[in-house]
């Protein structure tokens, strides 16, 4: 019995150390991010990006939009994307074997005409059935192909894309009109940049008109509100902080930009991947940093892409289990990067962080909660240890979430309404009592399912954002 108690206490101390080390990392990232965001904001605030791009040697962009069963929204979404501000861009909509009327709606509403197109399969993808061009809109191209999934659809789009930069956008993303100007800027400033990620914000509760956010708001659904805090925390100081180490390991599949030739050189997206957005970033690091140690994959902290968050437990669970499986898959596929000198701080700090706190984190946290409760029931925990554990497990989460809201208010001020800020501060507190533990369980579940061979993640139904 004494040996069992010793083992339980030892594990409790390991979990306490885990939480305390996570606090230290997050606070460090928070401090780094604060100064980087202020510097970025000062640089971008008074810059006339449209004029700068006209004067400089800008790089034309091909915007690739994979679409599957988007018939209800595809016309409005395309019209919205065509209004993006950029000197020269091509819009490539890839109909990935939709079973609804997505293709027909595109044909009817944009006067599409099928054109002959040579086999330019620089990247392997499912068969392209036809390529269409609009009679009225010169920069609109539509690709109809056999269903192969999101990664395969993007690869088909890359085969048709004609410009040196490619931007990948989810069909249901809502973009700020100057987003292409912002996400393309790092490629002009630094020739070593091969990929750029953008910030994602939650659109639930916002007022939408003709595919654009007119007024920022908050959903009345608490699940959506919790995700607002999560996204602020993840993007504002998570990725901004890792960017300082040239350690961006994932750029969101909802909005990202790449050098086309770089993606072609590594064979495009990995078809069938669970987390294709993280996997391609790791592969770009692995391939190009051996060739050029100054290769950079960077991140833009300005909020430029808005997405709909799940508002049901069922759909949110599918999303989080899928994210966890994608993280594990990517880390295992590229495990040789761990502590590899070729990748600098990415190999020695960032990938170990993802291994310990993202891959193994849910197992440690979930087991830690179980052992802590058992230890309380058995009466083997001191009062001091109990307070220390709860402070590390709960209070640090509250503090960091509140700091994320403060950082948002000091920088981009997307929520100027006082009531919204009060709701966000309240949400930052409440998410640590139930919601965070629930997401830990989902990630733990995703980990178990991955190693049991359950790689599918179900359908991500969305309600759709009301538009005027």
Q: What is the pLDDT of residues 189-222, one digit of tens each?
A: 899 999 999 999 999 999 998 788 889 999 999 9
Residue 225: per-residue pLDDT: 96
Q: In this model, does residue 366 exceed pLDDT 70?
A: yes
Counting residues of the chain whose pLDDT is more than 90, the rounded percentage is 60
**What are the pLDDT digits (tens) for 50-100?**
666 665 678 999 999 999 999 888 998 999 999 999 999 999 999 999 999
Query: What would the pLDDT profile of 435-444 be if each residue is shown by its tens digit?
Result: 999 999 999 9
Residue 387 pLDDT grade (very low, low, confident, very high; cuts 50, 70, 90) = confident
**Residue 459 confidence (pLDDT):** 64
pLDDT band at 38 (very low <50, low <70, confident <90, very high): confident
Confidence at residue 107, expressed as pLDDT on a 0 to 100 scale? 95
Residue 465 — pLDDT band, cuts 50, 70, 90? low
| Residue 390: pLDDT over 80 | yes
Q: Which residue has the higher pLDDT, 236 or 129?
A: 129
* pLDDT, tens digit (0-9, with 9 covering 90-100), for 235-288: 887 899 999 999 999 998 889 999 999 999 999 999 888 999 999 999 999 999
Longest dimension (CA), the chain: 80
pTM, entire model: 0.92
How confident is the model at residue 391, as a pLDDT? 83
HEC profile of the chain? CHHHHHHHHHHHHHHHHHHHHHHHHHHHHHHHHHHHHHHHHHHHHCCCHHHHHHHCCCCCEEEEEEECCCCCCHHHHHHHHCCCCCCCEEEEEEEECCCCCHHHHHHHHCCEEEECCCCCCCCCCCCEEEEEEECCCCCEEEEEECCCCHHHHHHHHHHHCCCCEEEEECCCCEECCCHHHHHHHHHHHCCCEEEEEEEEEECCCCEEECCEEEECCCCCCHHHHHHHHHHHHHHHHHHHHHHCCCCCCCCCCCEEEEEHHHHHHCCCCCCCCCCHHHHHHHHHHHHHHHHCCCCEEEEEEEEEEEECCCCCHHHHHHHHHHHHHHHHHHHHHCHHHCCCHHHHHHHHHHHHHHHHHHHCHHHHHHHHHHHHHHHHHHCCCCHHHHHHHHHHHHHHHHHHHHHHHHHHHHHCCCCCCHHHHHHHHHHHHHHHHHHHHHHHHHHHHHHHHHHCCCCCCCCCCCCCCCEC
């Amino acid at each position: 019995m004494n040996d069992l108690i010793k083992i339980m206490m030892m594990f409790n101390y390991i979990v306490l150390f885990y939480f305390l080390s996570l606090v230290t990392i997050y606070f460090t990232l928070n401090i780094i991010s604060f100064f980087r965001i202020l510097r970025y904001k000062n640089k971008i605030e008074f810059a006339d990006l449209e004029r700068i791009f006209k004067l400089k040697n800008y790089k034309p962009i091909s915007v690739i939009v994979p679409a599957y069963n988007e018939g209800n929204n595809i016309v409005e979404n395309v019209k919205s994307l065509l209004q993006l501000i950029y000197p020269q861009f091509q819009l490539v909509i890839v109909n990935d074997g939709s079973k609804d009327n997505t293709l027909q709606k595109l044909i009817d509403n944009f006067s599409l005409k099928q054109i002959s197109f040579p086999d330019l399969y620089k990247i392997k993808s499912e068969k392209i059935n036809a390529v269409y061009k609009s009679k009225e809109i010169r920069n609109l191209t539509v690709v109809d192909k056999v269903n192969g999934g999101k990664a395969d659809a993007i690869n088909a789009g890359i085969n048709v894309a004609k410009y040196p930069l490619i931007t990948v956008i989810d069909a249901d993303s809502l973009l700020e009109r100057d987003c292409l100007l912002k996400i393309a800027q790092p490629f002009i400033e630094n020739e070593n940049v091969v990929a750029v990620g953008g910030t994602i914000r939650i659109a639930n509760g916002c007022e939408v008109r003709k595919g654009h956010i007119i007024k920022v708001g908050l959903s009345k659904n608490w699940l959506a509100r919790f995700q607002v805090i999560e996204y602020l925390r993840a993007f504002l100081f998570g990725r901004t902080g890792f960017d300082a180490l040239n350690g961006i390991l994932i750029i969101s599949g909802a909005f990202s930009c790449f050098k086309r030739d770089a993606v072609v050189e590594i064979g495009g997206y990995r078809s069938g991947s669970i987390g294709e957005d993280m996997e391609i970033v790791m592969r770009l690091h692995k391939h190009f940093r051996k060739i050029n140690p100054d290769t950079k994959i960077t991140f833009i902290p300005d909020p430029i892409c808005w997405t709909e968050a799940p508002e049901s437990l069922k759909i949110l669970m599918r999303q989080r289990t899928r994210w966890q499986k994608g993280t594990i898959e990517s880390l295992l596929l590229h495990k040789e990067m761990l502590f590899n000198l070729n990748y600098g701080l990415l190999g020695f700090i960032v990938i170990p962080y993802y291994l310990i706190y993202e891959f193994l984190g849910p197992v440690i946290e979930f087991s830690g909660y179980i052992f802590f409760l058992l230890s309380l029931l058995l009466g083997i925990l001191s009062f001091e240890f109990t307070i220390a554990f709860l402070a590390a497990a709960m209070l640090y989460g509250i503090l960091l979430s509140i700091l994320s809201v403060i950082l948002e208010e000091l920088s981009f001020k997307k929520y100027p309404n006082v009531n919204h800020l009060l709701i966000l501060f309240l949400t930052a507190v409440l998410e640590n009592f139930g919601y965070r533990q629930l997401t830990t369980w989902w990630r733990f579940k995703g980990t178990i399912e991955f190693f049991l061979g359950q790689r599918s993640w179900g359908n991500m139904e969305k309600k759709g954002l009301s538009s005027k």
